[in-house]
Copies of this chain bind each other. A is one copy, B any other.
Amino acid sequence: MTLRLAIVGLGKIARDQHVPSIAKTEGVELTSIASRNASIDGMSHFPDIETLLASDEAVDAVALCTPPQGRHAQAVAALQAGKHVLLEKPPGATVSEMGPLVALAQEKGVTLFATWHSRFAPAVEPARAFLADTDIHSVHVEWKEDVRKWHPGQAWIWEPGGLGVFDPGINALSIVTAILPRPMFLRRSDLQFPENRAAPIAADLEFTDATGLAVRAEFDWRETGGETWSVHVETAKGKLTLSEGGKKLALDGQPMVNEPDAEYAGIYRRFVELTKTGAIDVDLSPLQHVADAFLLGRRHVVDAFVEA
């Protein structure tokens, strides 16, 4: 049976990634849009999820692509109505709000899937398998991009709960937490806040794990010379480098993986699988690390950020 899916929040990520990936995935069909301003020709349109759920539109599942601050109430409404729910990353504005959501999904017997799209990048599983089997000496994460290019006009991203540079940085954290063999935890957090913004534009973090592994992560939104989305791991078997956000993997410069992006196709394949049994897949560790980074963060004030 094909899953009839509504997208809630037809913004940049929904148009760029969700819509084309759903079209390519067997077992799921995009039937409806709930979005204040945007619509797709030939598809049922509703101004918001409440109107959609109150209508007689037949949907089995919703994908929440709205900003994280409002997603909790939308997820509750969808789960209460017995719909499977897919959450864009980050899954919410706080860690604590996720517990009641998981409990509600369990009660209703439907799927709740907190997605981390970067974990579906082609280099991630090979990197995990490689690192499971070798001594790791150190990890260095560089996640640098131009906020003006990648988040044009997204005011919510600078608001509390919008995460600032952790919006891309949490992708790196979702990869690192997936490929390292042991849980890591934060030891130092330095955050750079533009003097006119409520969220950081850069972060410098030091993590470790139970074996004392040094994991350094540098996130920066002021990179105008092209993107760097890389994880470098020094190991007993050589230097493993995951780059281009997980499209490429190399060992001592020798390519191991080099595949086109298929992250959101992977997400929707997994979502279709999960909904067959109403299974729940909610891993909060990337968001937990971000919360810890704010909790332990030392604030540094830097130049104002002006969009235009």
Contact = CB atoms under 8 A, between A and B. Distances in A.
A54 interface: no
A160 B96 contact: no
Contact of A291 (B72, B104, B184, B292): B292
A38 interface: no
Contact of A97 (B76, B97, B186): B186
B97 A185 contact: yes
A296 interface: yes
A96 B296 contact: no
A37 B103 CA distance: 49
Contact of A189 (B160, B183, B288, B292): B160
A94 B295 contact: yes
Contact of A185 (B100, B161, B291): B100
Interface string A277-308: 00000000100111110111111000000000
A139 to B, nearest CB: 15
Nearest to A69: B296
A94 B285 CA distance: 12
Given A210-B104, A291-B291, A291-B295, A96 B161 contact: no
B210 A296 contact: no
Q: How many copies does the complex hold?
A: 2
Nearest to A191: B160
Interface in A149-199: 160-161, 182-186, 189, 198
Contact of A183 (B96, B185, B289): B96
A186 B210 CA distance: 30
Nearest to A96: B185
A206 to B, nearest CB: 12
Contacts of A77: none
A100 B160 contact: no
B100 A210 contact: yes
A23 interface: no
A89 to B, nearest CB: 15
B185 A292 contact: no
22 contacts: A93-B295, A95-B288, A95-B295, A96-B184, A96-B185, A96-B288, A96-B289, A96-B292, A97-B186, A99-B183, A99-B185, A100-B182, A100-B185, A103-B210, A160-B297, A160-B298, A161-B295, A198-B299, A288-B291, A291-B294, A291-B295, A294-B294
Interface of A: 72, 76, 93-97, 99-100, 103-104, 160-161, 182-186, 189, 198, 209-210, 285, 288-292, 294-299
